[in-house]
């Protein structure tokens, strides 16, 4: 028995369902090339998908792993988090073996994106599941004739039992920009990050793995290529202002995002860049 990849409808949108014989499963929507669900072998769901998320393309899907490109947040003149979250991506490669399943989705500039950001580009998302591991890789290519610069992120919504009881380890000593406190630059001094209020931090130059402890389970978070880590939770007041999040949604999610946010990535014509986030259920 080998792993499988099935095309099906998920919330009225085409999606790919990846399964391994060991019981791992992921759902990847073609809308936004967004991973919406991931259950590792022998484990439980690790991604938060809002029950009030909209899947009709009118707004980005709230939850899972949105792809932010070519702009992260409002750090520029483009719409918040860029131009690719509400577009239909094209299925490229599909591969599966005895213990893994892999899919690649691609997109490139169109008339609408070129009007907002006049650059020729290719973007590719590769998703692989294998046992207790989920890997998501973003590759960006400059297909034009002049350099361009961008910011980007894999805006990962992790599901937790109660966010106040979750502990994120590995950020001790790192400098961060605190967007919830007037963008002040601070340094993390705790053994673990515990969310007890609105949290919106961009940690700089994070090179070591992180560990999220959620009750009786733990998740290892490894990043390559992305120099920053964003930790976000809207907390009660901000959550209440979001029509696609339930009132208690903030309690069951914690965004730990692989990002290139502090400095723009410069890409010459013909060059490629990639960044990867790997989640490992422990």
pLDDT in the model for residue 1: 81
pLDDT in the model for residue 280: 98
Residues 6+ apart with CB under 8 A from 207: none
CB 32 within 8 A of CB 157: no
Distance of alpha carbon 253 from alpha carbon 239, whole angstroms:
11
pTM (two decimals): 0.97
Count of domains for the chain: 1
- Which of 199, 226, 212, 179 has its CA nearest to residue 280? 212
pLDDT tens profile 30-63: 999 999 999 999 999 999 999 999 999 999 999 9
DSSP for 220-268, please give it.
EEEEES--EEEEEE-HHHHHHT-TTS-TTGGGGEEEEEEEEEEEEEEE-
pLDDT in the model for residue 150: 98
On the question of a cis peptide bond just before residue 70, with omega within 30 degrees of 0, the verdict is: yes
* Token pair recorded at residue 264: 């723009």
A 10 A CB-CB count for 214 gives 20
> What residue numbers bound the domain in which 172 lies?
4-281
Distance of alpha carbon 20 from alpha carbon 25, whole angstroms:
7
**CATH number for 178:** 2.70.98.10
pLDDT in the model for residue 207: 92
- Which of 275, 271, 276 has its CA nearest to residue 141? 271
Supply the residues annotated as catalytic.
Answer: 155, 257
Q: What is the pLDDT along the chain (282 residues), one digit of tens a residue?
A: 899 999 999 999 999 999 999 999 999 999 999 999 999 999 999 999 999 999 999 999 999 999 999 999 998 999 999 999 999 999 999 999 999 999 999 999 999 999 999 999 999 999 999 999 999 999 999 999 999 999 999 999 999 999 999 999 999 999 999 999 999 999 999 899 999 999 999 999 999 999 999 999 999 999 999 999 999 999 999 999 999 999 999 999 999 999 999 999 999 999 999 999 999 999
CB 176 within 8 A of CB 186: yes
- Count of residues in the chain: 282
pLDDT in the model for residue 43: 97
Give the count of alpha carbons within 13 A of 159, CB side only. 17
């Amino acid at each position: 028995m080998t792993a499988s990849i099935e095309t099906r409808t998920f919330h009225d949108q085409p999606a790919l369902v990846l399964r391994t014989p060991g019981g791992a499963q992921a759902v990847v929507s073609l809308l936004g090339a967004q991973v919406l669900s991931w259950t590792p072998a022998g484990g439980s769901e690790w991604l938060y998908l809002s029950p009030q998320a909209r899947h009709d393309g009118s707004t980005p899907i709230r939850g899972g792993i949105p792809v932010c490109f070519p702009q992260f947040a409002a750090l520029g003149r483009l719409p918040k988090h860029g131009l690719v979250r509400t577009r239909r991506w094209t299925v490229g490669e599909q591969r599966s073996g005895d213990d893994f399943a892999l899919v690649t989705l691609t997109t490139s500039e169109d008339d609408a994106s070129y009007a907002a950001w006049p650059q020729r580009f290719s973007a590719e998302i590769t998703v692989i599941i294998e046992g207790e591991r989920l890997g998501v890789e973003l590759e960006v290519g400059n297909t034009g004739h002049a350099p361009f610069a961008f910011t980007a992120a894999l805006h990962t919504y992790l599901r937790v039992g109660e966010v106040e009881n979750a502990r994120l380890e590995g950020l001790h000593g790192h400098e961060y920009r605190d967007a919830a406190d007037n963008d002040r630059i601070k340094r993390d001094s705790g053994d673990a990050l515990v969310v007890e209020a609105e949290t919106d931090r961009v940690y700089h130059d994070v090179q070591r793995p992180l560990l999220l402890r959620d009750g009786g389970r733990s998740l290892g978070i490894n990043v390559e290529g992305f120099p920053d880590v964003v930790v976000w939770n809207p907390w009660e007041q901000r959550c209440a202002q979001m029509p696609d999040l339930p009132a208690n949604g903030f309690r069951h999610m914690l965004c730990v995002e692989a990002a290139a946010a502090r400095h723009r990535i410069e890409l010459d014509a013909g060059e490629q860049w990639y960044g990867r986030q790997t989640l490992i259920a422990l």
